Structure 1
Amino acid sequence: MKLGPWEKREDHTLPSTNQITAFLTSCIHCLQAWNVKRGSESMRYTFNSKQSYRRRASRSKFRMSMFHCADADARTCSPFRHEQWRALTVIFRPQKVCLCPFLPVHPLNVSTCLYIVQHPAEESRVLRTVPLLAACLPSDKCKVFIGRRFSEDRHPELAAVCRSLSTLVLYPGPEANNLEELELDPSLSPYNIIIIDGTWSQAKGMFYGNSLFHLPKQVQLKTNLSSQYIIRTQPTNTCLSTLECAAFALSVVEKNHCIHEVILRPLQALCSFQLQHGAQIHHSKEHLIKNGLYAKPMPKNKRKLNRMERLVNNVKV
């Protein structure tokens, strides 16, 4: 088996020049993608304290560990095989679990623009779905903003989008309209869709903590589809990941169901690969409580207890 230049060799021979060159080239591509993605935001973290140092070191650890595919010699494929990968971190995975065959050869031709508002904690997750979503769409149709609070002064582009009549914010609630039943005005096309990326508690805090997100028309998805992102625990059976929400919303707005199938293909492959290599299926919290499989102790806080009771249709647990 051919070893890379960073691995130990029993015969103590040095790696070839081609191997070293290929390895250094892949490192340069990683750094280039990092600079494109982070931009000026990389200066937000300083080394003034041990806490901020650990915060930056932790993010650096995961920043280049998402996916990577490899060829026989350099153990790396072209980081920019797809043009749409330039907008986000290069996707790194071993060759046996490479996701390239499951991505569209060309970016999907859509008129709707997605604005992903991502919680900072979600950026460090290795198995996040936003990079897969961005790899399926043109770079100008999927834009990611990272942060907890967004103001008009610091994010003028996002503020202008929120004030546009052609913008929809995808977040469930009593005042939200069902996207499937909403009559879209053709004169306002193309539409913009704002999606909050994070855990449900993080998304709730971001939605109610930013007045900009209350300006667009609020919509929600009313679907009986179960999430196919089975390697992470969801609150209920019908809670969907960011990629699944975006795929479903795009198929409704663009009136093309094929979009939903194409975007879900890499997610299905990702979950399948993870299960083949030791991951376990994560049932929703609702499923675990209903079947008496919830291993954690029940919360003593009444508010949290009432929330869990609502997961099982007001049945006391």
Structure 2
Amino acid sequence: MFGDLPVEVCEGRPMCWRCRRPQKVCLCPFLPVHPLEVSTRLYIVQHPAEESRVLRTVPLLAACLPPGKCNVLVGRRFSEETHPDLAAVCQDSRTLILYPGPSAENLEELVHNHRGPEEPPSTTHHNVIIIDGTWSQAKVMFLKNTLLHLPKQVQLSTAACSQYVIRTQPTDMCLSTLECAAVCLSILERNQHIQDVLLKPLRALCSFQLQHGARVHHSKEHLLRNGLYDKRMLQNKRKIKRLEKLVAEKSLSLDERE
């Protein structure tokens, strides 16, 4: 239905066909021997800027799942005319879009309320749309694409910190695309093992980068809270206010869950 996952082209460096990493730093030993069997289909709506990033998590996610279970669409604008296949998915009553907000339902509660305690996951097939990009890019893409407003909006209630420590997150609770997918699949499929399998290559990626000169990136929330935020950035008052608002919204959301 959708095109293959875009491949990072790096001239002179042979690439691994499965993990899409240079062969010298291949992460296949950390991928499952066989793709995970899941009933859920993921649709990753990816901002074009993500294609040029070296340390992406979506290729690792796709490498862990069977063909057709992780579909990637690259672009900024999506409509029924330009993307009829995506439009059909958005109009499907079984489709969810993972995007936090006041109108979003907690995924765990949705699954608990709409599925009997003994009902197997395979009887309820879901499609999950995840926006892949920076938080500001994801916000713009969600707001400007009314097609993405059709599915039921859900969010994760997990308070776990991201393990993607080689990339700066806005707040302590922001997760990478792979981590979001891992949590979603483990909830929808009722199988915690799925999350463990999907996070294994991410941990290996971060460990390798840290061993070769990368540093741990604390969230902007952590830096701001501890007075460590770059003073040059502090001159941009509008950006700081947006960050403080995001932190406040996240804290309020956690208080409501408790």
Task: With the length of structure 2 as denominator, give the TM-score of the two structures.
Answer: 0.85
Q: CA deviation at 1:200?
A: 0.4
Alignment of 1:229-248 (within 5 A): 229-248=164-183
Q: CA deviation at 1:157?
A: 0.7
Contact 2:58 2:177 in 1 (8 A): yes
Q: CA deviation at 1:296?
A: 3.6
Q: Report the aligned-residue RMSD.
A: 2.3
One-letter code aligned to 2:167: R
Aligned position for 1:152? 80
Aligned position for 1:269? 204
CA distance, structure 2, for counterparts of residue 141 and residue 178 of structure 1: 22
Asked if 1:63 corresponds to 2:63, the answer is no
Aligned position for 2:32? 104
CA distance, structure 1, for counterparts of residue 151 and residue 211 of structure 2: 42
Alignment of 1:65-84 (within 5 A): 65=10, 79-80=16-17
1:103 to 1:292, Cα distance in 2 relative to 1, 3 A: same
Aligned position for 1:287? 222
Asked if 1:195 corresponds to 2:124, the answer is no
Contact 2:171 2:247 in 1 (8 A): no
Aligned position for 2:186? 251
Q: Report the secondary structure of 1:122's partner residue.
A: helix
CA distance, structure 1, for counterparts of residue 5 and residue 224 of structure 2: 40
Aligned position for 2:254? none
Unaligned runs of 5+ residues in structure 1 are 1-34, 39-61, 69-75
1:36 to 1:112, Cα distance in 2 relative to 1, 3 A: closer
One-letter code aligned to 2:126: Y
Q: Report the secondary structure of 1:288's partner residue.
A: helix
Contact 2:5 2:59 in 1 (8 A): no
RCO (CA 8 Å, sep 6+): is it higher in 1 or 2? 2
CA distance, structure 2, for counterparts of residue 308 and residue 36 of structure 1: 35
One-letter code aligned to 1:63: E
Aligned position for 2:147? 212
Q: CA deviation at 1:197?
A: 0.1
CA distance, structure 1, for counterparts of residue 42 and residue 71 of structure 2: 6
Contact 1:65 1:126 in 2 (8 A): no
Q: Which moved more, 1:181-190 or 1:270-279?
A: 181-190
Decide which of 129, 154, 179 is 2:57's aligned counterpart: 129
Q: Which moved more, 1:241-250 or 1:179-188?
A: 179-188
CA distance, structure 1, for counterparts of residue 180 and residue 77 of structure 2: 22
Q: CA deviation at 1:139?
A: 1.4
1:300 to 1:37, Cα distance in 2 relative to 1, 3 A: closer
Q: CA deviation at 1:224?
A: 1.1
CA distance, structure 2, for counterparts of residue 306 and residue 141 of structure 1: 39
Aligned position for 2:256? none
Q: CA deviation at 1:142?
A: 0.5
Unaligned runs of 5+ residues in structure 2 are 250-258
Q: Which has the larger radius of gyration?
A: 1
Aligned position for 1:184? 114
Asked if 1:91 corresponds to 2:20, the answer is yes
Q: Report the secondary structure of 2:20's partner residue.
A: coil
Q: CA deviation at 1:277?
A: 0.3
1:217 to 1:311, Cα distance in 2 relative to 1, 3 A: closer
CA distance, structure 2, for counterparts of residue 211 and residue 199 of structure 1: 19
Contact 1:165 1:216 in 2 (8 A): yes
1:99 to 1:310, Cα distance in 2 relative to 1, 3 A: same
Q: Report the secondary structure of 1:279's partner residue.
A: coil
1:313 to 1:204, Cα distance in 2 relative to 1, 3 A: closer
Q: CA deviation at 1:282?
A: 0.3
1:5-44 C-alpha deviation (Å, 9 max, x unpaired) = xxxxxxxxxxxxxxxxxxxxxxxxxxxxxx9556xxxxxx
Q: CA deviation at 1:222?
A: 1.1
